Amino acid sequence: MERLTDLSSTYRNIMNSAWNLKVLFLNSLEDDKLIEKYKFLLDCFYNFNLVKIDSLKLSMVNDGIPISKIEKVIGYLNVLKEAQYKYNINNIDEISLLILHEWQNNRNYSDQLVRDILVIEFENQRNRNLPHSNIHLFDIYKEMVDYDMLNPNLHIWNGYNLYTMLPNDISCYQHNLKVIANPTVDWSIYRNGTNPLECFCFDYNNSKSEKERRYYHDLIIAAINSSCSLFNNKFAWHIPTHKTEEMINYYLLVEKNAINCGRHSINDIGFSKEINSLLLTDKLFNHQLGLYNENNKEADEIIKQFKLKRENK
């Protein structure tokens, strides 16, 4: 267990070093010739043997780079040399494989391992212009989901919990849906300060492909069929002047002539109609009533309207 978490933490440190080299050093250079000269430093992550501390330091001194910057760059690169010495690896693909092999040998779960995997993959997806491994760690995450090892509310990183930081990779879509369908998900936990259901609506509205759009559709449906309440206060931005029909759209429930394209609302009229239809069924309506446990005048009015619509079906 200790070796596995040490490996994953080392990987995170390596990725942090790549970010620091790119953003804090290369991006800070004002001379294009120096940027061109030292951009090879990012290649070191694919071949640790390229790291030559003594010659690099001499070159940077001769180029007039401040000693404080030189020391920081050497610190970033020493992370690679330390990993190379400790684990006999020469690039970031090899440390990924070591993590996978170590997991396959013992499958010892730890919260820290989960955090490291999700942060590593999150950063790899977000910063594609930075060095990243071609060997993904998604297989570990998927096995953890398959064997019900994960706490969906586990705090991961910087305002993100596990269920709000699911890997956006097509190979993980079905496993992510299983996490969202977990009845222990605490939907009062916000994603970096933002309502998680609203975030998923935003992701649905801004999907880059039909597969991704379908995934977020299924994720939202799975959420409202599990522990995600559509009626509680935490799922609406309340503005007293809103009319009831406008509040209904806040809850993503019924069709409107003017589609609300805000972050908190689905901008697909067909999807809103689908949710509206589902709420007219006994299964989802009664389920959502069971989740509703707050004093919310707008929601009370909406529930009243749905009861009337159900009676008149």
Per-residue pLDDT tens digits for 221-273: 999 999 998 877 544 444 444 444 444 444 444 333 333 444 456 777 788 77
Q: Are residues 9 and 114 in the same domain?
A: yes
Q: Is the dihedral of CA 228, 233, 238, 243 positive or negative?
A: positive
Is residue 275 situated within a structural domain?
A: yes
Is residue 196 situated within a structural domain?
A: no
Distance separating alpha carbons of residues 136 and 272, to the nearest angstrom:
36
Q: Which of 117, 147, 177 is the last residue of a domain?
A: 147
Is residue 28 situated within a structural domain?
A: yes
Q: Which of 100, 120, 147 is the last residue of a domain?
A: 147
Tokens of 241: 């002047």
Please give the tally of structural domains in the chain: 2
Does residue 11 have a pLDDT over 80?
yes
Cα–chain-centroid distance for residue 119?
8
Q: Are residues 132 and 245 in the same domain?
A: no
Q: Are residues 136 and 261 in the same domain?
A: no
Range of the structural domain that residue 259 is part of: 229-311
What pTM, to 2 d.p., does this model score? 0.86
Is residue 300 situated within a structural domain?
A: yes
20-34, 102-116, 231-245, 285-299 — which is least confidently predicted? 231-245
Is residue 211 situated within a structural domain?
A: no
Percent of the chain with pLDDT strictly greater than 70: 89
Q: Are residues 142 and 28 in the same domain?
A: yes
Q: Which of 128, 147, 166 is the last residue of a domain?
A: 147
Is residue 163 situated within a structural domain?
A: no
pLDDT digit string, tens, across residues 87-116: 999 999 999 999 999 999 989 899 999 999
Is residue 194 situated within a structural domain?
A: no
Is residue 305 situated within a structural domain?
A: yes
Q: Are residues 139 and 240 in the same domain?
A: no
- Give the pLDDT score at 261: 41
Q: Are residues 140 and 241 in the same domain?
A: no
Within 13 Å and on the Cβ side, how many CA atoms surround 288? 28
